[in-house]
């Protein structure tokens, strides 16, 4: 048996383990850093560095800057005007933007509806919608959740009935969607609607694109506990939607929705952004001479490293032609727990000044902040980030997914 | 970027797995634990025949020249089967220290380790010194007379030779001596995980220059590096344990019926098992990082081993406690394997600096 190993030493010239990125990837990383240093809009950077919530215009400027560089279609194939990046480049791009404190790229257009349109849409739809997504000329929002359908999404009730008037085919949509992120800014909404009630609940769902200017749509703000207006209720009353806004086949919407979820695999853990938060937290805590806080921040640093390497393992599996399994659910759970834990430690580091709260946008220009300047930002982050373990399939739903696919129970 | 094991490494893992399944089941292990020696000479000979005792040594010393990656594989599999043979003590702590030293008789000793014909223990710990191994109170005077007491010497009762860290005029020395040298007294006791360790006293033990393995900075670096490698190994062992805790608990809950159904059907248990699975994957990620850093001898290798050690110290115990809980009464039965993982986790956390210590070291 001992000789077996000597022999195999000679026979196998297998690729050895290597945790470093290739030269090409490093060069790409430098290109991203270069863009961040020179072309990432300065007025946006100033606000995010100061921890102030950015405006609609700032967000548009940020996305337009990405479009200008040709990076808006970061996850799209070249064929549809995307970058065609490898998994490792996509990872690097996400991480560097997070490290630099960029706002998250709004996922609704480029990350969600875009891939559904170029995969299941017809040529007319591709031509009509894809270029505007890449140039950020349309702002999309997502119409999935309903007041009665959260984790049990397939129970959704918003109804679309096909009609024909004067040779025109159209749907009449009635119902409501909720938790619709930034619907107040949106030009279009992609919706899961019920077109059939006869079979099992997943089978009667269709995927419909709706113009937010359509008569009968009403957007009402929902103010979250951080005081911000980020999400909304959207009401549909006899909204007329042209039938050619239907994606793919009627009744197949659930399949497209699941495809969409699987497509949003990367950056789900938010490692880059968490690393940035950790670094700032370490600086703050190092000045406080508090061994309890020091221990907590050390624990988070170790745990974040574990999440980062778990994401790299997923990346390595993809690069080597493997199929990722449970990793994305692990990353969703642990990544969001990390974001929340970091923000909570910001609040703890504020000590008694956690009492003061100026609201989500920080102090106005003329106000003098009471206590450390990170107190307000920490608190708004802490309150705002509660959402991360709830959205995108709550962390409990992720554990159900893992129970089914990993435990096999 | 490639984080997959190569074919040779996968073959090694398979070979160890097969061995543990056929030659080292839990009943066999129990026999060994209850025996007077705390290891099985036949099993040790089989280890030698498979080449495992030669794995980490350089080819110049007659070894196979394998590194931290292969050692981690071996220890992960040992962890799953709860192997108690004194591999850590003889091969990793004593063997690799000698291999990296300039000690004149090292080739002879390493050959004996490879063939399984000698056990050597490293006496690095002292009472009241905590995890500070670099400043021992045991002294070696100018006439090479050794005085002091070492504690928690793994496999001390079986060792024919002992490697001792000591202080010679404020300089760290590492010496090696026969266990039966006059003035050496050995008191042995069992460890929580079924191994044994010893308290060894040295009273005016006469040595000479030929006993010296290393001095000064060489000795310091040798000791630090050896302990770091051994720490990596027991962390890999813990990662193996965590994987087994999860697998065995899942298997158990699928077979155990209460209220007319397998208890694995209960969501509250499912989510706890998912947590065990996640923890074992995250620990595995930190293991991969640490073993690659040690393999590359990077500047950060100590830091990453500390990160790993602090993590498995906490999450390893957590996984094992969950495993016991989900096994119900069976979890606390001595005759079931599952509770023994918890004991192993206690010993892993206690050795070479516990979770809190390494969390501090890490920062």
Quickly list DSSP for B74-112. HHHHHHHHT--STHIIIIIIIIHHHHHS--TTHHHHHHH
Query: Is this prediction's pTM over 0.90?
Result: yes
A229: CB partners within 8 A, 6+ apart? A184, A221, A222, A223
Q: Would an 8 Å CB–CB cutoff place B6 in contact with chain A?
A: yes
Q: Which residues of B touch A16 (CB under 8 A)?
A: 2, 6
Compare all CA atoms of chain B with the CA of A26 and give the residue at the minimum distance.
B1
Among candidate residues B73, B69, B113, B117, the one with its CA nearest the CA of residue B93: B113
Q: Which residues of A touch B275 (CB under 8 A)?
A: 399
Question: Under a CB-based contact definition with an 8 Å cutoff, are residues A235 and A220 in contact?
Answer: yes
Task: Collect the ranges in chain B with pLDDT lower than 50.
Answer: none
Question: Which pLDDT does position B213 carry in this prediction?
Answer: 98
Domain boundaries, chain A: 23-105, 141-256, 271-407
pLDDT by position in tens, chain A (length 409): 333 344 444 444 467 899 999 999 999 999 999 999 999 999 999 988 887 778 999 999 999 999 999 999 999 999 999 999 998 999 999 999 999 999 999 999 999 999 999 999 999 999 999 999 999 999 999 999 999 999 899 999 999 999 998 889 999 999 999 999 999 999 999 999 999 999 999 999 999 999 999 999 999 999 999 888 999 999 999 999 999 999 999 999 999 998 887 666 566 789 999 999 999 999 999 999 999 999 999 999 999 999 999 999 988 888 887 776 677 899 999 999 999 999 999 999 999 888 887 777 666 555 666 778 788 778 888 999 999 999 988 999 999 999 998 999 8
Name the DSSP letter for residue A109: I
B190: β partners: B196
Q: Is B323 helix (H, G, I), strand (E, B) or coil?
A: helix
> Would you tell me which CATH number, out of the four given (3.30.70.920, 1.20.140.10, 1.10.3450.40, 3.20.20.70), belongs to the domain B218-362?
1.20.140.10
Chain A nearest C-alpha distance from B224 (Å): 22
> A299: which chain B residues are within 8 Å (Cβ-Cβ)?
310, 359
| pLDDT, position A380 | 85
* Angle at CA of residue B325, ends B324 and B328, nearest 5°: 90
Mutate to test the interface with B, among A320, A324, A399 (most CBs of B within 10 A): A399
pLDDT at A1: 32
State whether residue B254 sits within 8 Å of chain A by CB. yes
The continuous run of DSSP H or E covering A335 comes out as helix A327-349
Q: Is the dihedral of CA A239, A243, A248, A251 positive or negative?
A: positive
A71 vs A65: CA distance, rounded Å = 9
* Cβ-proximal residues to A45 (8 Å cutoff; 6+ apart), any chain: A100, A101
CA atoms of A302 and B337, how far apart (whole Å):
30
Q: Which residue intervals of chain B bear CATH 2.40.110.10?
A: 120-216
Q: What angle do CA B320, B324, B327 make, to 5 degrees?
A: 135
Q: Given B49, B253, B274, which is nearest A1 (Cβ)?
A: B49
What is the architecture, at CATH level 2, of domain A141-256?
A: Beta Barrel (2.40)
For B173-213, the pLDDT digits (tens) are 999 999 999 999 999 999 999 999 999 999 999 999 999 99
Residue B115, CB-side half-sphere exposure with 13 Å CA sphere = 8
Tell me the longest C-alpha to C-alpha distance in chain B. Answer: 76
Nearest alpha-carbon partner for A114 in A159, A67, A82, A85: A82
Q: What b-and-e string marks burial along A167-188, b requiring 16 or more CB atoms within 10 Å of the CB?
A: eeebbbbbbbbbbbbbbbbbeb
Contact B242, B314 (CB under 8 A): no
Task: Please tell me whether residue A149 adopts helix, strand or coil conformation.
Answer: strand
Calpha distance A94→A331 (Å, rounded): 14
B182 φ/ψ angles, rounded to the nearest 5 degrees:
-65, 135
**DSSP states along B108-137:** HHHHHHHHT---EEEE-B-TT-TT--SS-S
Phi, psi of A92 (to 5 degrees): -60, -45
Write out residues 281-320 of A within 8 Å (CB-CB) of B: 294-295, 298-299, 301-303, 305-307, 309-310, 312-313, 315-317, 319-320
* Fold for the domain defined by B7-115: Butyryl-Coa Dehydrogenase, subunit A; domain 1 (1.10.540)
Do the first three CATH levels of A141-256 and A271-407 match, i.e. the same topology?
Answer: no
- Cβ-based burial of A259 (10 A; exposed 0-12, middle 13-18, buried ≥19): middle
Domain with CATH 1.20.140.10 in chain B: 218-362
Superfamily of domain B120-216: Butyryl-CoA Dehydrogenase, subunit A, domain 2 (2.40.110.10)
Confirm or reject contact between A403 and chain B (CB < 8 A).
yes
Chain A residues 68-97 with a CB less than 8 Å from chain B: 88
The total number of residues shown for chain A amounts to 409
Is A271-407 a CATH 1.20.140.10 domain? yes
Q: How many CB atoms lie within 10 A of CB B57?
A: 25
């Amino acid at each position: 048996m001992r000789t077996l190993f000597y022999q195999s030493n000679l026979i196998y010239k297998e690729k050895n383990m290597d945790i470093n990125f290739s030269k090409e990837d490093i060069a790409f990383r430098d290109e991203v850093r270069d863009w961040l240093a020179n072309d990432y809009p300065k007025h946006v950077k100033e606000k995010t560095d100061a921890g102030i919530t950015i405006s609609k215009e700032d967000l548009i400027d940020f996305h337009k800057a990405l479009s200008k560089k040709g990076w808006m279609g970061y996850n799209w194939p070249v064929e549809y005007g995307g970058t065609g990046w490898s998994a490792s480049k996509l990872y690097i791009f996400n991480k560097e933007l997070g490290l630099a404190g960029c706002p998250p790229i709004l996922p609704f257009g480029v990350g969600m509806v875009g891939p559904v349109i170029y995969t299941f849409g017809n040529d007319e739809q591709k031509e009509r919608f894809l270029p505007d997504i890449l140039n950020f000329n349309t702002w999309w929002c997502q119409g999935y959740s309903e007041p009665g359908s959260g984790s049990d999404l397939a129970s959704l009730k918003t109804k679309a009935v096909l009609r024909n008037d004067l040779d025109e085919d159209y749907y009449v949509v009635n119902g409501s969607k909720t938790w619709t992120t930034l619907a107040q800014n949106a030009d279009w909404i992609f919706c899961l609607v019920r077109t059939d009630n006869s079979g099992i609940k997943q089978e009667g769902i269709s995927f419909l694109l709706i113009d937010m200017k359509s008569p009968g749509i009403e957007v009402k703000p929902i103010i979250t506990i951080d005081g911000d207006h980020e999400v909304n209720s959207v009401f549909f009353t006899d909204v007329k939607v042209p039938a050619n806004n239907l994606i793919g086949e009627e009744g197949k919407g659930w399949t497209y929705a699941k495809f969409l979820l699987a497509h949003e695999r990367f950056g789900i853990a938010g490692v880059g952004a968490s690393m940035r938060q950790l670094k700032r937290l370490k600086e703050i805590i190092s000045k406080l001479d508090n061994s309890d806080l020091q221990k907590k921040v050390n624990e988070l640093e170790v745990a974040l490293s574990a999440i980062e390497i778990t994401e790299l393992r997923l990346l390595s599996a993809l690069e080597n032609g493997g199929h990722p399994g449970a990793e994305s659910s692990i990353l969703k759970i642990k990544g969001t727990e990390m974001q929340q834990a970091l923000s909570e430690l910001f609040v703890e580091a504020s000590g008694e000044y956690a009492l003061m709260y100026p609201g989500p946008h920080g102090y106005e220009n003329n106000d003098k902040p009471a206590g450390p300047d990170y107190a307000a930002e920490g608190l708004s982050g802490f309150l705002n980030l509660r959402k991360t373990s709830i959205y995108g399939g709550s962390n409990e739903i992720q554990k159900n997914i893992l129970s089914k696919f990993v435990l096999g129970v | 970027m490639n984080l997959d094991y190569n074919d040779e490494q996968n073959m090694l893992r398979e070979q160890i797995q097969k061995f543990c399944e056929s030659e080292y089941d839990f009943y066999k292990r129990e026999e060994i634990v209850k025996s007077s020696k705390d290891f099985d000479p036949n099993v040790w000979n089989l280890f030698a025949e498979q080449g495992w005792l030669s794995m980490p040594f350089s080819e110049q010393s007659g070894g196979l020249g394998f590194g931290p990656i292969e050692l981690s594989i071996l220890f992960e599999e040992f962890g799953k089967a709860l192997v108690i043979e004194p591999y850590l003590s003889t091969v990793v702590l004593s063997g690799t220290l000698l291999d990296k030293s300039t000690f004149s008789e090292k080739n002879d000793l390493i050959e004996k380790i490879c063939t399984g014909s000698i056990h050597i223990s490293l006496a690095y710990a002292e009472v009241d010194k905590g995890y500070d191994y670099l400043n021992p109170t045991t002294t070696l005077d100018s006439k090479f007379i050794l005085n002091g007491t070492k504690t928690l010497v793994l496999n001390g009762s079986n060792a024919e030779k002992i490697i001792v860290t000591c202080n010679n005029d404020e300089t760290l020395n590492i010496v090696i001596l026969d266990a039966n040298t006059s003035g050496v007294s050995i008191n042995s006791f069992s460890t929580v995980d079924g191994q044994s360790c010893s308290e060894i006293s040295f009273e005016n033990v006469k040595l000479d220059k030929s006993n010296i393995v290393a001095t000064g900075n060489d000795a310091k670096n040798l000791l630090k590096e050896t302990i770091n490698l051994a720490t990596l190994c027991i962390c890999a062992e813990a990662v193996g344990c965590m994987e087994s805790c999860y697998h065995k608990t899942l298997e158990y809950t699928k077979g155990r019926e209460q209220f007319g159904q397998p208890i694995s059907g209960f969501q509250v248990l499912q989510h706890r098992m998912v947590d065990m699975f996640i923890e074992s994957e995250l620990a595995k990620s930190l293991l991969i990082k640490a073993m690659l850093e040690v393999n590359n001898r990077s500047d950060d290798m100590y830091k990453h081993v500390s990160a790993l050690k602090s993590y498995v110290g906490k999450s390893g115990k957590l996984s094992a406690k969950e495993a016991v809980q989900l096994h119900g009464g069976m979890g606390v039965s001595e005759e079931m394997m599952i509770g023994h993982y918890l004991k192993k986790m206690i010993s892993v956390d206690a050795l070479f600096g516990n979770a809190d210590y390494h969390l501090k070291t890490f920062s």
